[in-house]
Amino acid sequence: MAFGRLERAKSAEPMSDINVTPLVDVMLVLLVIFIITAPLLASSIRLDLPKAEGAQPGAPPKFVTVAVDKTGQIFFESQAVTPEQLAADFQNAARANPETEIQLRADQGVPYGRVVEVMGQAQKAGLNRIGFVADAPAPPAAQP
């Protein structure tokens, strides 16, 4: 009789790698929870604020439109005015709200000096916020 080894199939070796899929799942759930709860924690302070007259929300900034056409004619809120009337209108607007903005629309052909005159009258009245209104350029045509 011969004593020999019977060959057996190799058994599976133990897995030495860490399965990270459950770890990633847990981390994503925690991330979502923190994203949702973080804004709630920042605004959770309840205060009983004192009342004050100066704490009223302000009116939105007011603006007036001044246009100068290519002939040099001045328009205040779409009404043709003389330089003297424009100065009076600027004074009234400054009295009503010193932060009034002037939206200045001037034609391309208007001499620069005429635009500067209008700006000078506005600044003399105490209106220092002047915005220049321009049209956006047309998009370039697609070439075939």
Dump the DSSP string for 59-123.
PPPPEEEEEE-TT--EEETTEEE-HHHHHHHHHHHHHH-TTPEEEEEE-TTS-HHHHHHHHHHHH
Q: How many other C-beta atoms can be found within 10 angstroms of the C-beta atom of residue 144?
A: 3
**Taking each helix axis from N to C terminus, what angle separates 112-125 and 83-96, rounded to the nearest 10 degrees?**
40
Q: What are residue 137's phi and psi, to 5 degrees?
A: -65, 150
- In this predicted structure, what is the pLDDT of residue 12? 74
Structural domains of the chain sorted by starting position, each given as residue range(s) with its CATH number in brackets: 62-132 (3.30.420.270)
Residue pLDDT tens, the chain, 144 long: 556 566 666 777 777 788 889 999 999 999 999 898 887 766 555 656 667 666 556 666 688 999 998 888 999 988 899 989 999 999 999 998 888 899 998 888 888 889 999 999 999 999 999 988 888 777 777 666
